[in-house]
Every structure is written in structure tokens, then in C-alpha cells.
Amino acid sequence: MRKIGISEIEDIALGAALLGAGGGGDPYVGKLVAIGAVKECGPVTLLSPEEVPDDALIIPIAMMGAPTVLAEKAIGGTEYRTLYDTVSGFFGKPVYAFMPMEAGGVNSMLPIAAAARLGLPLVDVDGMGRAFPELQMVTFTIGGGSATPMALVDEKGNASIFRTITNKWTEELARAVTMACGGSVSVSLYPMEGAFMKKYGVHGIVTRSQRLGSAIRKVKEASASTPEEVFLNITEGFKLFKGKIGDVLREVRGGFNFGKVLLEGIGECKGRQAYVEFQNENLSATVDGRILATTPDLICLVDTETFYPVPTDALKYGKRVMVVGLPCFPLWRTEEGLKLVGPRYFGIDTDYIPLEERQKGGKADV
Amino acid sequence: MRKIGISEIEDIALGAALLGAGGGGDPYVGKLVAIGAVKECGPVTLLSPEEVPDDALIIPIAMMGAPTVLAEKAIGGTEYRTLYDTVSGFFGKPVYAFMPMEAGGVNSMLPIAAAARLGLPLVDVDGMGRAFPELQMVTFTIGGGSATPMALVDEKGNASIFRTITNKWTEELARAVTMACGGSVSVSLYPMEGAFMKKYGVHGIVTRSQRLGSAIRKVKEASASTPEEVFLNITEGFKLFKGKIGDVLREVRGGFNFGKVLLEGIGECKGRQAYVEFQNENLSATVDGRILATTPDLICLVDTETFYPVPTDALKYGKRVMVVGLPCFPLWRTEEGLKLVGPRYFGIDTDYIPLEERQKGGKADV
């Protein structure tokens, strides 16, 4: 158990944006919401998963809809109380704590704001260990968890609960109400008991985000070696490519941002070509025609000077980025995990090979 | 307390279609659903409002969406169990009985099917005493009742509950989910306790529908006087016009059927002109430029031969109809009632004058 205040939030937002793997929303907007709540209501208690009773009701908090709308429509501050009342009313049982659903600039922050405003603890766990685009893509699905009852509230005070026959129907109905409410709402889905959370959750994700964020901020202060080496050491990441953005192809389809960013090698990669494909989050990194990493491993683009993560919606011609691969949470590498978030699910015609193994095969030619 | 079986359902459907005042859906489709349920599960117990305990939880059952979609998509039979579970779960209290929300070909029938399938009683009460197009147009609104928590289920088993800040938002969110579910769903709204139902409900509406239906069926058997006189006597209705349909103007706007039917006088009305305007239900009847009836009084078109009601979607060139006015439930004639369903709400620029008074003024010239 420890406290999360404003400086911790700054680091968590930065680290979570890296773990967002290109998605997860704008950490600046997310940070403002969390800091605003903590300034008003005081710091948040962070519990390790083991500190939560097995039968306690834990609910993830997230936003649904377009992050660009969130930036304009904002969050009123009453949403979390309404979510709390709706869910605890449904179960006839008080909510014990909140947790994030995914690591990302926005969705790592909103649960902190909720915890601050309700005076409840936050659990150091999530259901992805990164960000993914669809709502069934959580470790809890592997454990047989259901997205519903899913609660959805808007900043005006309207509340809905869904209980659906499949998570696909959850997506359909929740998406329809999200649009009717103006394109951005606060949600709670996959409500669960402590025991289930402990068994299937990604433990320590908030702490990991914070540690990463703090380290990224200090990369340039390090003196022992080059900043790049420091960055790769602290993230335990693999450098896949370094290049200048030559083109960005984007397509909005079915509510998702699909696209591909083309990179021309710089520095030690000069003369080589690479591209990264994405659906909200980065899906695959290909260098000179050879795939070096695929989902569910994390493919992160970072600025070559500041080492700050560059989300897919900030990709621009001429920007210099390093492509870094981070190994995903082990549960994603199981057969069930790969069915949910492996490359073939996203239409990439390759078997999943762990990032580390792909590196062994090809370290020589990078 | 009495039982409702198949022959009662036939009469209720016919009478309710008349009280639908042009709307309320196709009584044939509604009847099939109710008869199917009663054949399978046995007759339904009808309670008078006074037989219901004050603290019992009573929920209206209705369909939302397009009746034309209902006719194709039908009703699975599991919806009522899901509605029951959803609402009783929300309140942590068993549902004591079902009731209809409005009188109409479809919505008078579905609560009978629900009661049969769940083995629960039906209460002889509704919230309109006729049909109206918008969900806030119920006597319970006058009593300060809220449409929410509103439960919505589809034939596949998906369930939602809404709790909104206004009934307008209920409409928005429920309409979005209705569309996402395919255009027609079963709903329960305005859940209430027995005491509130007794105070604001339209008592005896099921029995009145049945009595009207039975009488209409026998109109032509009567020997004492002309069938038309018999019909007007049993309905306690005012004959406003008799004519041949010369034209029907229709417009679908915001999910409603708006329109106007033009009539050329026949029989004793020969040489005269009339029109009836509607928004799902008939709103006003104007003869030779003079308004003879407006909402909330019931304006019903019936076949001049069979005296069966003709709903707005069955209006066709050449059809011969009698326009009949029936006085509405007294609560609709109060200031609060007229704010909800008076002529000005529907954009008709006239004060409400009760049907009977308008007749006194003009009896001579019909």
C-alpha cells in the first residue's frame, strides 16, 4: 500500500503512454483529469493485488469513444459516483476498489481520478499490460470473465447498464449509447471479485508505468553511457529500427484508426527501409521485408531525442523515431491469448514468434 | 380477479385497436403473440387495481421500435423472463404483476403474453387509456413518475437498463439501443408501486377494451336499430364525419409517422369535406374548416360496414370510414395533462375544448 500524488501521476502517465504501444489516448488530457481530482480530493491509495480480499468487488474504470471528443467534452467529475452507484446497486454490494483496464495515456489516468473522487483505493493491476483496440482483448476473457454487466455513464448524469449474450453485443450496444451521449463516456466493465483479479490480472502495472515514466524523464541525465542505451536498459526493450518518417497512411474504418507508417533509416540504419502497421495500437514492425515484431508484443515508437513515446495519432512526416519492441505479458503468448490478440486475429498473415526469438534470428542484420 | 383466455384476447385486441385512436400497432400481430403464450402456458389472471398491495412492484410491458419490424422479427418468448430478472434484480424485489402502458393493438397484447409466460397476474390498468406516440405521455408523468429505471431486452437475450436525467434522454438512449438491436425490442418502463399505480393509472382499461371488442363484433347482429346507432351507443362515441378517403399524405420524420387523411363526405355528409391529422395516432379532426375534435380526446376511424377500427397505416384511397370521437381519460383534461398531450404540444394552434362541448356548438351542421 502506498500513496499516489501529483508527481507519481506525471510519471505514470508518461510510462503508460509508452506501454500504450501507439494507442491508449493522449497522456496530457488523461493527466489533467487525474491531477485535477487529486488536487481537489487528495492522493490515492494504491493497493497491491494481494492486499485485496478474495470476495471484494473490484471494477475497472475506462473511457469509451473517441479520445479527440474527450479532449473537448471533458469529464464532469460526477461520472465516477454515478458509476459507483450503478454498479454497487446492481450487485447489491459496495465497490471495494477501482482498477485500470489497460495501460495508456488516458485509461491509466481515469481510474486514479475515480479513486480520488470516491475516496476508494486503486489496485495495481490491469487486464492488458498494454493497450488493445477491442473490449474483449483482456486477460479476463481468457479466464472466462464477461464484459457485462457493463455500466456506462455520461457527464450529464445519464447511466446505463448492459448484460449481453456476447462481448460483441456489448460492443454494439455500448457503442450505440456512446454515440447517443455525444461520442465519449465513462464505463465500467468486467466487474470482478478479488480472487479472479489476482488470478488473471497483469500485476504491478501502475508501478511499472511509474518506474518507466520516471526513468524516461531521467534518460538524458545519465552519464555512464549513451541515452539510447540507458533507455533500452530501463525498458528492457529491443531496438528494432531507427528512422525518419517518410509517409503515414491512415484510414478510419469501423470506429478504428487503421494505418501504416513508412520509415527511412537514419544513423546505423541508414539506407534501410521499415514500416509499422497499426489499428489504434501498433501491430507489426517490418524491416527490409522481414517481420521483427508482431502483436501481442509491444511495438513502441519513441522520439530519438527525448525518448518520449509517439502515439499513432502524432505520427508526422519528417519526425525521427526509434522503434522499440517490449515483450508482452506471458498470458498473451498462450494459445488462448494468441486467439484473442495474435497477429492472425488482426489479419497479419504470420505465426506469432516471440520478439526475443525474432531478434536472435536477425540481430546480425539490424 | 378473473381469467383471460383466448376468446377474451380476441375481444381485447379488437377493442384496444379502437382505443389506439389510429395508432398502437397491428392487432393481428399482437393477438398472435398473446394467444401463443396463453396456448402454451394457460390463461392469465386479471386483477383489478384495488386487489394489488400498495407496496407491490408493478411493471408495464411494451414494445419499442417499429411495429412493421416486430411483425417480421417477432418475439422469442424469453424476453419477458429477461425483463423480469433485470427489473427485479435492479430493485432487489420480485415483480408482483405486469400491466400495459397504453391501449393499442400491440401494446395491449404483449403484457398478456408476459403474464402468461411468467405465471404472473396482469393488472386492469394502463397509463394512457388510449395510445400516444411519445414515452413521457403517460398519466404517471403527471404524478411525477420517472420512465427510468427502464429495462430493454431483445429476442436474442441482450438486456439493458437506463437511468436518465430526463425522459427525453431515456428516449434518446433507448432509441439508439433499439436500433442497434434491429429496430424492435421489448421494454419495461415506469416501474411503480401499487399505491402509485392506483392513484394515477387509468383503471379498468383491459375490461373496457374487451367490452368494446365484444360489442363491435356483435354490432351487425343487433336488430333494434341501425348498426351505426348501436356502435355509437356502445362506444359512447360522437359521430364526427362519414366519408370516402380522397388522399393520404404521409411523412416519416424523427421515427414517427406524420400525416393527414382527406375525406370526401358520403351519405348524410355528402358534399362536405374533412381531414384528420396524425402523428402515429390521430391528432385532430376538421370538418369544413371547423375543428370538431383534438387530442387528447380519441379520434377513431372505423370501417363504415364492419365498424372495425382502421389504423393510420391502413388508410387507403377509396376506403369508406366513419370518424368517431371518444372523450379521453379526465386526467388528460387538466392543465398538466394538456401540457403533455394537448393540441399545442403537437403543433396544432388551438386551445383544447372537450369533444362534447365542440359537439354542442356544431351538432346542427353535421
Whether residues B164 and A162 touch (CB distance < 8 A) is answered with: no
Residues 6+ apart with CB under 8 A from A130: A19, A20, A21, A102, A103, A281, A296, A298, A328, A329
Contact residues, chain A, for B179 at CB < 8 Å: 176
Q: Of the candidates A165, A176, A180, which has its C-beta nearest B157's C-beta?
A: A165
Whether residues A173 and B163 touch (CB distance < 8 A) is answered with: no
Tell me how far apart the alpha carbons of residues B241 and B133 are, in angstroms, rounded to a whole number: 24
Angle subtended by helix axes B110-118 and B79-91, to nearest 10? 80
Strands A202-203 and A125-126: antiparallel
Determine the distance from the C-alpha atom of residue B365 to the mean position of all C-alpha atoms in its chain, rounded to a whole number: 31
Residues 6+ apart with CB under 8 A from B285: B240, B241, B274, B275, B276, B291, B292, B293, B294, B299, B323, B325
Number of helices and strands (H, E) in chain B?
12, 18
Tell me how far apart the alpha carbons of residues A146 and A150 are, in angstroms, rounded to a whole number: 9
Tell me how far apart the alpha carbons of residues A350 and A164 are, in angstroms, rounded to a whole number: 33
Number of residues written out for chain A? 366
Number of residues written out for chain B? 366
Tell me how far apart the alpha carbons of residues A312 and B338 are, in angstroms, rounded to a whole number: 56
CA atoms within 13 A on the CB side of B305: 3
Q: Are A216 and A308 in contact (CB under 8 A)?
A: yes
Q: Of the candidates B90, B158, B177, which has its C-beta nearest A177's C-beta?
A: B177
Q: Which three cell numbers stand for residue A60?
A: 475497472
Strand order in the sheet with B238-253: B290-294, B281-287, B273-279, B256-265, B238-253, B320-326, B298-303
Determine the distance from the C-alpha atom of residue B174 to the mean position of all C-alpha atoms in its chain, rounded to a whole number: 20
Determine the distance from the C-alpha atom of residue B52 to the mean position of all C-alpha atoms in its chain, rounded to a whole number: 23
Residue B289 burial (CB < 10 Å; 0-12/13-18/19+)? exposed
Q: Which three cell numbers stand for residue A205?
A: 502495472
Q: Which residues pair with B326 in a beta bridge?
A: B298
pLDDT tens-digit profile of B205-235? 999 999 999 999 988 776 667 888 889 988 9
Contact residues, chain B, for A168 at CB < 8 Å: none
The interface pTM score, or ipTM, of the predicted complex is: 0.77
Q: Of the candidates B89, B161, B176, which has its C-beta nearest A179's C-beta?
A: B176
Q: Which three cell numbers stand for residue A149?
A: 454487466
Q: Is A361 on the interface with B (CB under 8 A)?
A: no
> Over its length of 366 residues, how does chain B's per-residue pLDDT go in tens digits?
999 999 999 999 999 999 999 998 888 888 999 999 999 999 999 999 999 999 999 999 999 887 667 767 667 678 899 999 999 988 989 999 999 999 998 999 999 999 999 999 999 999 999 999 888 899 999 999 999 999 999 999 999 999 999 888 998 899 899 989 988 899 999 999 999 999 999 999 999 999 999 999 988 776 667 888 889 988 999 999 999 999 999 988 777 788 999 999 999 999 999 999 999 899 999 999 999 999 999 999 999 999 999 999 899 999 999 999 999 999 999 999 999 999 999 999 999 999 999 988 654 343
Contact residues, chain A, for B92 at CB < 8 Å: 92
With H, G, I as helix, E, B as strand and everything else as coil, classify residue A35. Answer: helix
Strands B95-100 and B57-65: parallel
Please name the amino acid found at residue B202: V
For chain A, the domains span 2-205, 225-365
Residue B223 burial (CB < 10 Å; 0-12/13-18/19+)? exposed
Tell me how far apart the alpha carbons of residues A336 and A145 are, in angstroms, rounded to a whole number: 13
Considering the domain A225-365 in this protein, what is its CATH number? 2.40.390.10
Per 3-state DSSP, what percentage of chain B is helix, strand, and coil (rounded to 5)? 40, 30, 35
Contact residues, chain B, for A179 at CB < 8 Å: 176
Whether residues B163 and A86 touch (CB distance < 8 A) is answered with: yes
Rg (CA), chain B: 20
DSSP letters for A146-194 = -S-SEEEE-TTS-EEEEE-SSHHHHHHHHHHHHHHTTSEEEEE-S-EEH
Tell me how far apart the alpha carbons of residues B228 and B134 are, in angstroms, rounded to a whole number: 33
CA atoms within 13 A on the CB side of B252: 3
CA B149 to chain A, closest CA, distance in angstroms equals 9
What are φ and ψ of residue B159, in 5° steps?
-130, 145
Tell me how far apart the alpha carbons of residues B319 and B321 are, in angstroms, rounded to a whole number: 6
Q: Are B38 and B9 in contact (CB under 8 A)?
A: yes
**Cα three-residue angle A167-A173-A174, rounded to 5 degrees:** 85
Q: Are B272 and B265 in contact (CB under 8 A)?
A: yes
- CATH number for B226-365 (one of 3.40.50.1110, 3.40.1190.20, 1.10.760.10, 2.40.390.10): it is 2.40.390.10
Q: Is B270 on the interface with A (CB under 8 A)?
A: no
With H, G, I as helix, E, B as strand and everything else as coil, classify residue B125. Answer: strand
67-96 of B, contacting A, C-beta below 8 A: 86, 89-90, 92
Find out whether the peptide bond into B354 is cis, omega within 30 degrees of 0. no
Tell me how far apart the alpha carbons of residues B154 and A176 are, in angstroms, rounded to a whole number: 15
Whether residues B162 and A159 touch (CB distance < 8 A) is answered with: yes
Per 3-state DSSP, what percentage of chain A is helix, strand, and coil (rounded to 5)? 40, 30, 35
Rg (CA), chain A: 20
Tell me how far apart the alpha carbons of residues B339 and B94 are, in angstroms, rounded to a whole number: 34
DSSP letters for B187-216 = EE-S-EEHHHHHHHSEETHHHHHHHHHHHH
> Over its length of 366 residues, how does chain A's per-residue pLDDT go in tens digits?
999 999 999 999 999 999 999 998 888 888 999 999 999 999 999 999 999 999 999 999 999 887 667 767 667 678 899 999 999 988 889 999 999 999 998 999 999 999 999 999 999 999 999 999 888 899 999 999 999 999 999 999 999 999 999 888 998 899 899 989 988 899 999 999 999 999 999 999 999 999 999 999 988 776 667 888 889 988 999 999 999 999 999 988 777 788 999 999 999 999 999 999 999 899 999 999 999 999 999 999 999 999 999 999 899 999 999 999 999 999 999 999 999 999 999 999 999 999 999 988 654 343
pLDDT tens-digit profile of B259-301? 999 999 999 999 999 999 999 899 999 999 999 999 999 999 9
**Domain B2-205 listed as CATH 3.40.1610.10:** yes
- Pick the closest to residue B286 from B219, B348, B212 (CA basis): B348
Q: Kindly provide the residue ranges of all beta strands, DSSP E only, lying in A18-156, ordered along the sequence.
A: 44-47, 57-65, 95-100, 122-123, 125-126, 150-153
Whether residues A181 and B162 touch (CB distance < 8 A) is answered with: no
